[in-house]
Amino acid sequence: MEAGLHDRLHHTPSDAPTGIVHLGLGAFFRAHGAIYVDQAMQAGGGDWGIIGVSLKSPGTRDRLRPQGWAYTAVELAPDGERPQVVTILRDVLVAPEDPQAVLDAMADPAIRIVSLTVTEKGYCHEPSSGRLNRDHPDIRHDLDDPLPRSAPGFLVRALELRRAAGVAPFTVLCCDNLPENGHVLRGVVLELAGLIDPELADWIGAEGRFPSTMVDRIVPATSPEDLDQVARLTGLRDEAPVMHEPFRQWVVEDDFVGGDRPDLGTVGVQLVADVTPYEHMKLRMLNGTHSSLAYLGYLGGHQTIAETVGDPVFSAFVRKLWRNEIIPALTPPPGEDLAAYADALHDRYANPAIRHRTWQIAMDGSQKLPQRILGTIAEGRAAGRAVPGLTLAVAAWMRYVSGVDLAGAAIEVKDPMADRLAALWRDDPAETVAGFLALEQVFPAALRADAGFARDLTTALTALCDKGAAQAAADA
């Protein structure tokens, strides 16, 4: 493979200068942001090569290195598959192996942007409040050790090095599904920096930039079968391809240190003054229904989102969610038709080429539900609107994280709070609901204090367990 993918198909010099460090080099970024930057460099030039950082394990590095960091991105359209080779990566570092190398890369004056896709749990914050979780073991480590473990820790320590060297801060570009993600990350970074050095926090607050973004593309996990299919499509064996749907969207607040960024607008990135209405639309209409379908679909016996919306009951259920519970709580972004957006989402979910597993989407629900579902519920109830479908989705999450499905089979739950969540399950639905609603890390105060919500959630959980996921969804 040394002379395969990279030497045969690459279109950008592998030694072109770098301008970006990306923390969390997973499939999503390689199928989304990396492609945008690659295309922007092709269109307008610039020194925006990317150094990727794996914060946990060397697997991605070890698969990409023999390929010269090049990889195949395959568009999965209903009418066929379309591969392209992406060569924007210049190196991949593994943080646990050499955290100093990561800090040195981030402190390099040539780096003007540090972007992140570390998932919601990677920010070491309390999802219900957005504040830094000071008791998180990685944060406790990073307060005392200049070689960090957490994403916020790497940001703070790298900015500390730049300040000491008289180098301007980099722009921090969050690409995860958090509401007001730049604002949240700025708060986490400033709080951590303030605990380490208040003057450092003041400098970051005055000189740094944390633009919020909205990202959208469905990227299913790559399977061994996908590797074989890519080899058949291209004639090349790629050990690190990514698969993605045709649709993509990236909305970015145009607020960068010194205005320095790739020419993203030329390749379709929407550069705006305020990303909030776009992210609310996407987080609630896409991510909120994705999670709802994941929990109910899994409990209803469906392995993928396409299978779930192929079931007429769940298809009708998700359309009711959009029409009656989610769209009424949203202010449309400029030029957006929310009903048309919902129709397009349904078509994307139903794409038979995308095998996005319900189990994959169901991961880390304790970190995802506050921004994807609970905010919409709280606003709906405050406005006097009924939200039975979203309430049922929360009940389905509670049953899912019990670790046992409706047929009594074990569920492999992936969640940072998995053990604590499983311990909350009781035979009495009211007792189960009371235990879950006591979780300050998950449920906002308005819902924890809402006796009516507790009753509705208990009713939904009872219906789910007594009637099954499909019938409960049909009745919601």
Residue 11 clears pLDDT 80, i.e. is over it: no
Q: Are residues 254 and 357 in the same domain?
A: no
Predicted confidence band of residue 405 (pLDDT cuts 50, 70, 90): very high
Q: Are residues 284 and 299 in the same domain?
A: yes
Predicted confidence band of residue 122 (pLDDT cuts 50, 70, 90): very high
Average pLDDT value for residue range 250-254? 98
Q: Which residue has the tokens 């597993």?
A: 357
Average pLDDT value for residue range 90-107? 98
Q: Are residues 75 and 100 in the same domain?
A: yes
Q: Please give the residue range of the domain that contains residue 310.
A: 276-475
Res 4: pLDDT: 53
Domain count, the chain: 2
Q: Which residue, 224, 243, 272, sits at the end of a domain?
A: 272
Predicted confidence band of residue 295 (pLDDT cuts 50, 70, 90): very high
Entry pTM? 0.86
With pLDDT > 90 as the criterion, what percentage of the chain qualifies? 91
Q: Which residue, 242, 272, 302, sits at the end of a domain?
A: 272
**Domain containing 457 — which CATH number?**
1.10.1040.10
Joined together, the tokens standing for residue 380 give: 């709906």
Q: Are residues 54 and 189 in the same domain?
A: yes
Q: Are residues 34 and 144 in the same domain?
A: yes
Predicted confidence band of residue 1 (pLDDT cuts 50, 70, 90): very low
Q: Tell me how far the alpha carbon of residue 233 is from its chain's centroid.
A: 29
pLDDT tens-digit map of 127-164: 888 899 999 999 999 999 999 999 999 999 999 999 99
How far apart, in Å, do the first and last CA atoms of the chain sit? 53
Q: Are residues 123 and 249 in the same domain?
A: yes
**Domain containing 222 — which CATH number?**
3.40.50.720
pLDDT tens-digit map of 170-181: 999 999 988 899
Q: Which amino acid is at 51?
A: I
Instruction: Name which of 158, 443, 366, 397 is nearest 297 in CA terms.
Output: 397
Residue 444 clears pLDDT 70, i.e. is over it: yes
Q: Are residues 344 and 248 in the same domain?
A: no
Instruction: Name which of 112, 198, 123, 196 is nearest 162 in CA terms.
Output: 112
Q: Are residues 234 and 365 in the same domain?
A: no
Predicted confidence band of residue 252 (pLDDT cuts 50, 70, 90): very high
Q: What is the rounded distance in angstroms from the CA atom of residue 143 to the CA atom of residue 136? A: 11
* One-letter-per-residue 3-state SS of the chain: CCCCHHHHHCCCCCCCCEEEEEECCCHHHHHCHHHHHHHHHHHHCCCCEEEEEECCCCHHHHHHHHHCCCEEEEEEECCEEEEEEECCEEEEEECCCCHHHHHHHHHCCCCCEEEECCCHHHHCECCCCCCECCCCHHHHHHHHCCCCCCHHHHHHHHHHHHHHHCCCCCEEEECCCCCCHHHHHHHHHHHHHHHHCHHHHHHHHHHCECCCEEEECCCCCCCHHHHHHHHHHHCCCCCCCEEECCCCEEEEECCCHHHCCCCHHHHCCEEECCCHHHHHHHHHHHHHHHHHHHHHHHHCCCCEHHHHHHCHHHHHHHHHHHHHHHHHHCCCCCCCCHHHHHHHHHHHHHCCCCCCEHHHHCCCHHHHHHHHHHHHHHHHHHCCCCCHHHHHHHHHHHHHHCCECCCCCECCCCCCCHHHHHCCCCCCHHHHHHHHHCCCCCCCHHHHCCHHHHHHHHHHHHHHHHHCHHHHHHHC
Q: Are residues 280 and 266 in the same domain?
A: no
Predicted confidence band of residue 12 (pLDDT cuts 50, 70, 90): very low
Predicted confidence band of residue 10 (pLDDT cuts 50, 70, 90): very low
Q: What is the rounded distance in angstroms from the CA atom of residue 366 to the CA atom of residue 290? A: 15
Q: Are residues 261 and 340 in the same domain?
A: no
Q: Are residues 253 and 401 in the same domain?
A: no
Q: Are residues 107 and 147 in the same domain?
A: yes
pLDDT tens-digit map of 187-232: 999 999 999 999 999 999 999 999 999 999 999 999 999 999 999 9
Average pLDDT value for residue range 419-444? 96
Q: Which residue, 243, 272, 301, sits at the end of a domain?
A: 272
Q: Tell me how far the alpha carbon of residue 354 is from its chain's centroid.
A: 18
Instruction: Name which of 351, 413, 405, 57 is nearest 220 in CA terms.
Output: 351
Q: Which residue has the tokens 């009951």?
A: 313
Average pLDDT value for residue range 306-311? 97
pLDDT tens-digit map of 347-377: 999 999 998 999 999 999 999 999 899 999 9
Res 128: pLDDT: 80
Q: What is the rounded distance in angstroms from the CA atom of residue 210 to the CA atom of residue 181? A: 9
